[in-house]
């Protein structure tokens, strides 16, 4: 049976919108109006201003990349991050994405991009790169191990990965109240894999990689004055950025 009960805070419009969002997140389900996820539609909506890339995330990634480096963005989306890195770090950019619309948006920015699925058998990267960025991509793949194995021997410096943190306190509380973690935007099938920080570090080790460092990322949804996500990312960061090297 679908839910019809309205959130309690609808009766109290003077309460903080942030509190209302948190309440809804903790206790309510989220509607989706399609029978499947269509990434072409997703990136069409992105191109129209839907869910812009976080500037805070771009700055964090840029701080880990040396100026003038070659950077491959796997799942480059509309090319926002690569364009930012070109402007701030004078990188040599390369993008790859499975969505035709995403690659079109990237090429419109003057950045080389290719339509491809790196997890497919037989696909190999054509060259090595100083850095490979995989930002909020691995959780969408049924077998992200295939992608990680294909990066071996192809990265001169580091792999930079961001994924949602299923150990985030909000996800833990949703489980406590009988709800599964909600990490999708348009459709529940967006995310197929889930990691806590401890799980992700262990997972990388099993694949022959090591996590050099990790940092919690700002999530505007939970932006508060006390930046606890900086100091306790395992519990308070909704997304985590990992700097990874091959063993």
Tens of pLDDT, residues 105-148: 899 999 999 998 888 888 888 899 999 999 999 999 999 999 99
> Rounded to whole angstroms, how far apart are CA atoms 199 and 77?
26
**H helices then E strands: how many in the chain?**
10, 7
Q: Is the pLDDT of residue 214 over 60?
A: yes
* Per-residue pLDDT reduced to its tens digit, 222-247: 556 667 878 899 999 989 999 999 99
Q: What is the per-residue pLDDT for 135? A: 93
Q: Which residue has the higher pLDDT, 117 or 208?
A: 208
Give the Å distances, CA to CA, from 135 to 120, 162, 172, 176. Answer: 19, 5, 23, 28
The secondary structure of 150-201, three-state, reads HHCCCEEEEEEEEEECCCCHHHHHHHHCCCCCCCCCCCHHHCCCCCCHHHHH
Task: Return the pLDDT at 20.
Answer: 76
Write out the H or E segment, with its range, that includes residue 243: strand 239-246
- Look at residue 15 in the predicted model and tell me its pLDDT: 54
Report the chain's mean pLDDT, rounded to a whole number. Answer: 84
Q: What is the pLDDT of residue 170?
A: 87
Residue 75: strand, helix, or coil: coil
Coil, strand or helix at 129: strand
Report CA torsion sign: 214, 215, 216, 217: negative
Average pLDDT, stretch 50-59? 71
pLDDT band at residue 42, thresholds of 50, 70 and 90?
low
Mind listing the pLDDT tens digit for each residue in 164-195?
Answer: 999 999 899 889 988 888 887 777 888 899 99
Q: Where are the domains of the chain?
A: 66-192+208-247
CA 33 to CA 46: how far, in whole Å? 17
Please tell me the predicted confidence (pLDDT) of residue 225: 60
- Is the confidence at residue 1, as pLDDT, over 50? no
d(Cα 109, Cα 206) in Å, to the nearest integer? 37
Distance separating alpha carbons of residues 159 and 246, to the nearest angstrom: 9
Q: Decide if pLDDT at 52 tops 90.
A: no
For the cut 50, the answer to whether the pLDDT of residue 9 exceeds it is: no
Cα 59 to chain centroid, rounded: 15
Model confidence at 13, pLDDT cuts 50, 70, 90, reads low
pLDDT for position 50: 43
Superfamily for domain range 66-192+208-247: Vaccinia Virus protein VP39 (3.40.50.150)
Evaluate if residue 95 carries a pLDDT over 80.
yes
């Amino acid at each position: 049976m679908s839910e019809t009960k309205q959130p309690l805070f609808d009766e109290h419009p003077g309460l903080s919108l942030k509190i209302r969002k948190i309440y809804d997140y903790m206790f309510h389900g989220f509607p989706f109006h399609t029978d499947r996820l269509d990434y072409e539609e997703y990136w069409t909506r992105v191109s129209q201003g839907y869910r812009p890339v976080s500037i805070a995330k771009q700055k964090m990634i840029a701080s880990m990349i040396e100026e003038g480096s070659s950077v491959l963005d796997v799942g480059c989306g509309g090319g926002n991050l690569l364009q930012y890195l070109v402007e701030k770090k004078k990188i040599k950019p390369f993008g790859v994405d499975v969505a035709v619309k995403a690659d079109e948006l990237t090429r419109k920015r003057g950045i080389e991009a290719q339509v491809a699925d790196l997890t497919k058998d037989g696909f190999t990267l054509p060259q090595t790169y100083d850095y490979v960025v995989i930002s909020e991509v691995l959780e969408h793949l049924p077998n992200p191990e295939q992608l990680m194995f294909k990066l071996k021997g192809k990265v001169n410096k580091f792999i930079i990965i961001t994924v949602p943190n299923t150990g985030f306190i909000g996800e833990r509380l949703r489980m406590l109240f009988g709800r599964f973690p909600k990490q999708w935007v348009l459709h529940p099938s967006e995310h197929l894999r889930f990691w806590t920080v401890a799980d992700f570090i262990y997972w990388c080790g099993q694949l022959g990689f090591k996590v050099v460092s990790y940092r919690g990322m700002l999530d505007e949804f939970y932006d508060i004055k006390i930046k606890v996500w900086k100091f306790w990312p395992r519990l308070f960061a909704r997304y985590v950025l990992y700097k990874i090297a091959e063993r």
